[in-house]
């Protein structure tokens, strides 16, 4: 912005610059060069730019360059006989140019460059765009966003979702935008790795983030680490976005990951802190679990379920209770070999990270998803986090391993390879309570009474590995009695570490009373009494008084 001031001649008694001398002041904002003053020859003065009768002499223009943000000069009183300087005003959407010469004051307003049409608000150079947010958007919204970035409609129709996200991100970086992303690291045998997105269930794609071997060594990264940071667009000859700056590892500062203790060296303990699943009076299933088979942080729980007994609904209610009462817990729902509609229902019902591999996927895909979830959970536990994995089901996971492991030549009953159950057991056995903080809880479902000998063998192999078990009864579900718990066969090892002394004594007495009764009668009695009581505390107090239907 330039201001030219040409001062009029004044009386001889007043000091003023010679006629025809003008002063040009240029303010160039934050310039690193020091302030300087220059004197330029502007040619001979004409009759228009000098006072009448003035001598013909060259006009000298003094140029001052101001650096940085200087304080505004103090207001000065104009010299006698001179005109006051005009007031500079800014109008919205205009940049003003003020010209001040003797006998002429004019303010010119020049319109700014019009904004680019259909350009979204977040496309300025300071904007941030998250790859994970784009992955969560429906394809229709992505196409609308892509049109604002100038991507052609015909081109977008031919692109898959991940390819369209890649094109949007590339256009965003070309406009000076900043991109952030997070994901779970998968290190390949060559030493480098990629961040797999949980929105894609860790499926490799074109929008995965490349992490160099030097970054992996610098931050002591492992497979399963949740990494968050700023990324850059691919350079010439590159195919993937790359991590530019690592800002968080497993929701902590990167320095924490450099000094962590490996998961295998942590000391496992019995669960000693209960996960409170009681939320509402009408949620009978979680209230019964809270008393008769409590779940603690670090529990290795097995839900033994015949078909059509409500195991998926039970997992949903357990998940909702954990998110409501324990927001500090990181919850992962892992669905293996399930129906696609169940995956959608779980995603809309549970506020958790839902990872799935449906029944139309290959067995290798089931295995890859399960191992990524397990490694991610281990890394979070190494950072002292409490993690809960709800697995549906461990039977189908074992079936997938049975198809992928190399054949050992030793086949068990039902067609199960002798080496097939090692990795599913390692998955289930990772659940533990850690001394000094952190825990990994796994609640897995096991299928029985499916008519498959293989499922029976898998269940028998896992039968004694858990420290908590919930049995569902097909007879109850056939009568439409839910929850269909078999109370006699359900229980928790070392439950005295999770229940109070009063709760423990009353539960033992209650089990002695209901033991001679039939399983169906037990559940109908418990459901009726719990529906009449506000919470479990009131239910236990009602045991001291005869039942009159008004508790």
Q: In which residue ranges of the chain is CATH 2.40.50.140 found?
A: 128-260
Nearest to 6 by CA among 50, 36, 63, 39: 50
Identify the residue with better confidence: 13 or 417: 417
- Predicted confidence band of residue 145 (pLDDT cuts 50, 70, 90): confident
For the chain, the average pLDDT equals 78
Best-predicted range by mean pLDDT (81-90, 184-193, 541-550): 184-193
Instruction: Report how far apart, in Å, the C-alpha atoms of 194 and of each of 165, 181, 282, 481 are.
Output: 17, 12, 45, 48
pLDDT value at 168 more than 50: yes
What is the residue whose two structure tokens read 């991610």? Answer: 376
Q: In which residue ranges of the chain is CATH 3.40.50.300 found?
A: 268-543
The fraction of the chain above a pLDDT of 70, given in percent, is 76
pLDDT value at 58 more than 70: no
Residue-level pLDDT at 120: 40
pLDDT value at 154 more than 70: yes
| Rounded average pLDDT over 3-24 | 45
Identify the residue with better confidence: 6 or 483: 483
pLDDT tens digits for 204-244?
A: 877 788 999 999 999 999 999 999 999 888 888 888 889 98
pLDDT value at 159 more than 80: yes
| Rounded average pLDDT over 38-57 | 45
Residue-level pLDDT at 26: 43
Phi, psi of 344 (to 5 degrees): -60, -40
| Residue 308: other Cβ atoms inside 10 A | 11
What is the residue whose two structure tokens read 């599913």? Answer: 424
pLDDT value at 16 more than 70: no
396 burial class (0-12, 13-18, 19+ CB within 10 angstroms)? Answer: buried
| Rounded average pLDDT over 166-184 | 86
Q: Cβ contacts of residue 337 below 8 Å, gap of 6+?
A: 357, 358, 359, 361, 366, 393, 396, 397, 399, 400
Phi, psi of 419 (to 5 degrees): -95, -5
Are the C-beta atoms of residues 382 and 266 closer than 8 Å to each other? yes
| Rounded average pLDDT over 394-421 | 86
How many Å apart are CA 309 and CA 527, to the nearest integer? 16
Residue 469: HSE in the Cβ half-sphere, 13 Å Cα cutoff? 17
pLDDT tens digits for 498-550?
A: 998 988 999 999 999 988 999 899 999 899 888 888 888 889 888 765 544 44
pLDDT tens digits for 335-385?
A: 998 999 999 999 999 999 999 999 999 999 999 999 999 999 999 999 999
Q: What homologous superfamily does CATH list for 128-260? A: Nucleic acid-binding proteins (2.40.50.140)
- Predicted confidence band of residue 144 (pLDDT cuts 50, 70, 90): confident
What angle do the packed helices 284-292 and 501-514 form, to 10 degrees?
100
Residue-level pLDDT at 316: 93
How many Å apart are CA 413 and CA 411, to the nearest integer? 7
Residue-level pLDDT at 545: 53
Tokens matching residue 232: 């850059």
Instruction: Report how far apart, in Å, the C-alpha atoms of 535 and of each of 90, 285, 514, 530 are.
Output: 67, 12, 20, 7
| Rounded average pLDDT over 9-26 | 44
pLDDT tens digits for 342-353?
A: 999 999 999 999
Q: State the maximum Cα–Cα separation within the chain, in Å, rounded to a whole number.
A: 127
The fraction of the chain above a pLDDT of 90, given in percent, is 36
Residue-level pLDDT at 331: 95
pLDDT tens digits for 252-293?
A: 898 888 889 999 999 999 999 999 998 888 889 999 999 999
Identify the residue with better confidence: 319 or 153: 319
| Rounded average pLDDT over 463-487 | 89
pLDDT value at 397 more than 50: yes
Q: What is the CATH number of domain 268-543?
A: 3.40.50.300
Are the C-beta atoms of residues 533 and 542 closer than 8 Å to each other? yes
pLDDT tens digits for 413-469?
A: 888 888 888 899 999 999 999 998 899 999 999 999 888 888 888 888 888 888 999
How many Å apart are CA 9 and CA 24, to the nearest integer? 18
| Rounded average pLDDT over 393-398 | 91
């Amino acid at each position: 912005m330039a201001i030219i001031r040409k001062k009029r001649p004044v009386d001889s008694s007043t000091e003023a610059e010679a006629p025809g001398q003008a002063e040009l002041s240029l303010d160039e904002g934050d310039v690193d060069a020091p302030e300087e003053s220059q004197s330029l020859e502007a040619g001979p003065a004409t009759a228009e730019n000098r006072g009448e009768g003035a001598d013909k002499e060259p006009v000298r223009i003094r140029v001052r360059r101001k650096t940085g943000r200087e304080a505004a000069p103090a207001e000065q009183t104009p010299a006698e006989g001179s005109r006051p300087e005009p007031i500079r005003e800014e109008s919205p959407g205009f940049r003003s140019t003020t010209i001040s010469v003797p006998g002429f004051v004019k303010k010119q307003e020049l319109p700014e460059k019009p904004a680019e049409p259909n350009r979204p608000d977040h496309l300025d150079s300071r904007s941030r765009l998250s790859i994970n947010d784009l992955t969560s958007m429906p394809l229709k919204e992505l196409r609308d966003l892509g049109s604002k970035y100038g991507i052609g409609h015909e081109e977008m129709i031919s692109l898959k979702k991940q390819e369209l996200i890649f094109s949007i991100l590339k256009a965003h970086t070309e406009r000076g935008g900043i991109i952030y992303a997070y994901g779970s690291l998968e290190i390949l045998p060559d030493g480098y790795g990629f961040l797999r997105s949980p929105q894609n269930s860790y499926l490799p794609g074109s929008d995965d983030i490349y992490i160099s071997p030097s970054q992996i060594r610098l931050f002591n990264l492992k497979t399963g680490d949740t990494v968050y940071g700023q990324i850059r667009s691919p350079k010439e000859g590159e195919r993937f976005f790359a991590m530019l700056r690592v800002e968080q590892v497993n929701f902590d500062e990167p320095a924490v990951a450099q000094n962590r203790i490996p998961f295998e060296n942590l000391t496992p303990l019995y669960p000693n802190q209960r996960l409170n699943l009681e939320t509402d009076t009408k949620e009978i299933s979680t209230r019964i679990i809270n008393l008769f088979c409590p779940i603690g942080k670090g529990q290795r729980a097995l839900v033994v379920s015949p078909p059509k007994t409500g195991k998926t609904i039970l997992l949903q209610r357990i998940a909702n209770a954990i998110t409501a009462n324990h927001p500090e817990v990181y919850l992962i729902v892992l669905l293996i070999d399930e129906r696609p509609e169940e995956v959608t229902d779980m995603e809309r019902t549970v506020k958790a990270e839902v990872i799935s591999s449906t029944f139309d996927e290959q067995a290798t895909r089931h295995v890859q998803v399960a191992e990524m979830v397990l490694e991610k959970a281990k890394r979070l536990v190494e950072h002292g986090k409490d993690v809960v994995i709800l697995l549906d089901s461990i039977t189908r996971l074992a079936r997938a391993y049975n198809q992928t492991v190399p054949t050992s030549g030793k086949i068990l009953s039902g067609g199960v390879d002798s080496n097939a159950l090692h990795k599913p057991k390692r998955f289930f056995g990772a659940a533990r309570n850690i001394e000094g903080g952190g825990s990994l809880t796994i609640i897995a479902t096991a299928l029985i009474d499916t008519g498959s000998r293989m499922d029976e063998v898998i269940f028998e192999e896992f039968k004694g590995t858990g420290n908590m078990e919930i049995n569902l009864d097909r007879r109850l579900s056939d009568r439409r009695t839910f929850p269909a718990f078999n109370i006699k066969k359900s229980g928790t090892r070392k439950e005295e570490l999770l229940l109070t002394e009063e709760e423990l004594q009353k539960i033992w007495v209650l089990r002695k009373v209901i033991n001679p009764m039939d399983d169906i009668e037990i559940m109908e009695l418990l459901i009726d009494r719990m529906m009449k009581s506000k919470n479990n505390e009131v239910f236990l107090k009602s045991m001291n008084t005869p039942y009159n239907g008004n508790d």
